[in-house]
Structure 1
Amino acid sequence: MASGWAGDDAVHEQIESSVAEAVEHARSRLPAGESRSHCLECEALIPEARRRAIPGVQLCVACQSEADARDRQVGHYNRRGSKDSQLR
């Protein structure tokens, strides 16, 4: 069912686009290459088990947790909110 100027599949396309962007963002954040023996930020020793489990790891657990928290604060663009506000 179309509403306003939107096509029949507009909501589905919007969801697919948002999911594809989230997947691409997650893939871009995956480490690559050789793991470091010491943390890039604090120089703490990265345990061998972590280096084997996550190829290309660059940060210790504490620094990685802080980096993940910073990334969560950024957030993503809310297309639906933007579209709804334009239609009002």
Structure 2
Amino acid sequence: MAGGWSTDGAVQEQIDSTLDDAVQRARSQLPRGESLTHCEECEAPIPEARRKALPGVKLCVACQAAHDKEQAAFSGYNRRGSKDSQLR
């Protein structure tokens, strides 16, 4: 059931679109190519086990963890707004 100006299925379309965006973003961040032997950022050696487990890896574990923490701050774009923001 649609409400207001929205069409039937509009909410599901928003959900699907948000998921598609998240999948595309995740796929674009997957490493590609040959793994480096030393970290791009700090020049620390990248262990062979890590290079074999993740083909195309360019960062050591410490730098990757820092990079992941920065990326976590970017949660994408919420088309509908969160419940918390609507309750305030």
- Scaled by the length of structure 2, the TM-score of the pair is 0.89
CA distance in 2, matches of 1:22, 1:76: 7
Pick 1 or 2: higher relative contact order, CA cutoff 8 A, min separation 6.
2
Partner secondary structure for residue 69 of structure 1: helix
Report 1:7-86 matches (<5 A). Answer: 7-81=7-81
> Aligned-pair distance for 1:78?
1.2
How far 1:59 moved relative to its partner?
0.2
Structure 1 unpaired stretches of 5+: 83-88
Q: Which has the larger helix fraction?
A: 1
Q: Which residue of 1 aligns with 2:6?
A: 6
Aligned residues with identical type, % of pairs: 61
Equivalents in 1 of 2:59, 2:80: separation in Å?
Answer: 35
Look up the equivalent residue of 2:72 and give its one-letter code: R
**Residues paired across the two proteins, number:** 83
